[in-house]
Amino acid sequence: MSILSLILFYLLYPSFFITVIFPGAIFALILLLLMIWFERKAAAFVQMRYGPLYASKRLGGALQLIADAIKYAISEIIIPNGVNPTLYALAPMLLITFAFIPIAVIPVSRIPISGSILSKYFLAFYDPDIKSGLYVGYFVPFNLLLALGLASSYSVFVLLTAWVTNNRFALIGAVREAFLSVSYDVLIVMSALALALEYHTLDIAKIVQSGIPGFIANPIAGVVFFIGVIMGTSRFPFEIVEADTEVVMGPYTEYTGLLYVITMGASYIGTYSFALLYSDLFLGGWAPFSGLPGAVWMTFKAVLVLAFSVFLRSVYGRYRIDQAIRGSWKYVLPAALASIILGLVVGWLWIR
């Protein structure tokens, strides 16, 4: 084994490649910039204006975001009086970390036994449920459960972010997040449960490999899950936690410079990791491809979901906190229950 193939082996090793390169950290950061650019361009298209333009006209102003990122990165970080500086700096980092972590357990693709560049990891990542290798950062048989569990810890760090800054608007934002997290977590977990009952498994890979996208098998769960996701990651029309005209910037009011970018990026990354999960559960994931093309195909669908959720900004305003909570318990929760019943029926009649 030459040194080159050794490097290639470790580079493409799923635990490294998925979490760090694709679709993990590096890709996610590039995507973050592109997605903010897309959000601004799409909104500008609806709103009869140009959006970012002058930083590289040929690319449609796409470099504007890089310029913004540099500006934020080198601007001063002001730490307010009377806060614990360590926690103040640590909270956004924990926030973005826990927005990232679910990516490690979401299966990205299938590893065929031979013919793919990934085939050498077949045995190390063998999933007995689908009788094939699974391209995933960290394989556990119950990865649906683990992904949801990790994703739901995100809101705890939003509270921490608000708490350490000792700002009144931040506290209001944190209380809003606390109220909402109960609402949206219930929706996400219930619609995921509906799918688990329908496909008789808690392994995401088995859901994908069944060949039937979740949205066709159980459209109600698909809608409910999506509502839960945009509510949980504070996208319009549920951008309630950071509502700028009401609570300035919610939990992130006191953050400046790079730390602010991290908090802002965390919510996009959070949406992205949910979008990857959504792509697997409801949009058929990597099927019918396998190997690296499967990973690209699955990520592409996730990016579409992400793009749709950021596009909602140009259509909706924001709901009030009580309207969002009432809506989620009164209208969406019964829908989630219906999705479970639908899942049971369809799972019993159709999907074996």
> Which residues of the chain form contacts with another protein (CB under 8 A)?
43, 46-49, 168-169, 172, 236-237, 239, 243-246, 248, 313-323, 326
Residue with tokens 């990790």: 150
DSSP for residue 212? S
What is the separation of C-alpha 212 from the centre of its chain, rounded to a whole number of angstroms? Answer: 22
Distance in Å, CB of 26 to another protein, minimum: 31
For every residue of 26-59, DSSP letters joined together read HHHHHHHHHHHHHHHHHHHHHTTS--S-SS-TTT
Name which of 126 and 329 has its Cβ closer to another protein: 329
153 near 119, Cβ under 8 Å? no
Nearest to another protein of 117, 182 (CB atom): 182
- Which residue in this structure is represented by tokens 């927005």? 99
Say which residue the tokens 């699955």 belong to: 298
Q: Quick one: which of 175, 151, 147, 212 has its CA closest to 321? A: 175
* CB of 331 vs another protein, minimal distance in Å: 12
Q: Which is nearer to another protein, 316 or 348 (CB)?
A: 316
**SS3 category, 133:** strand
75 three-class SS: coil
What phi and psi, each to the nearest 5 degrees, are found at residue 127? -105, 110
Tokens, residue 328: 């989620």
Shortest CB 228 distance to another protein, Å:
18
Q: Which two tokens stand for residue 193?
A: 């449960």
CA pair distance 228, 220, nearest whole angstrom: 12
The residue among 21 and 43 lying less far from another protein, judged by its C-beta, is: 43
Q: Is 335 in a helix, a strand, or coil?
A: helix
Closest CA to 78 of 253, 256, 245: 256
Q: Shortest gap between Cβ of 193 and another protein (angstroms)?
A: 27
Task: Compare residues 238 and 286 and give the one whose CB is closer to another protein.
Answer: 238
- Cβ 316 to another protein, closest distance in Å? 5
* Complex with another protein: residue 101 or 180, whichever CB lies closer: 180
Least separation, in Å, of the C-beta of 179 and another protein? 10
Task: Report, in Å, the least distance between residue 82 CB and another protein.
Answer: 17
Nearest-CA neighbor of 147 among 138, 156, 160, 155?
A: 138
Nearer to another protein, 177 or 280 (CB): 177
Is the separation of the CB atoms in 114 and 132 below 8 Å? no
* Type of residue found at 231: M
Q: Which of 170, 186, 275, 261 is nearest to 233 (CA)?
A: 275
Smallest distance, another protein to C-beta of residue 245, A:
3
The least CB distance from residue 243 to another protein, in Å, is 6
**Position of tokens 């490999």?**
209
Cβ closest to another protein, residue 97 vs residue 314: 314
Q: Would you state the structure tokens that stand for residue 291, as one six-digit string? A: 């190997």
Give the residue with the Cβ less far from another protein, 229 or 243: 243
Asked if omega into 141 is within 30° of 0 (cis), the reply is no
CB of 166 to another protein, least distance (A): 13
**Nearest residue (CB) to another protein, 16 versus 45:** 45
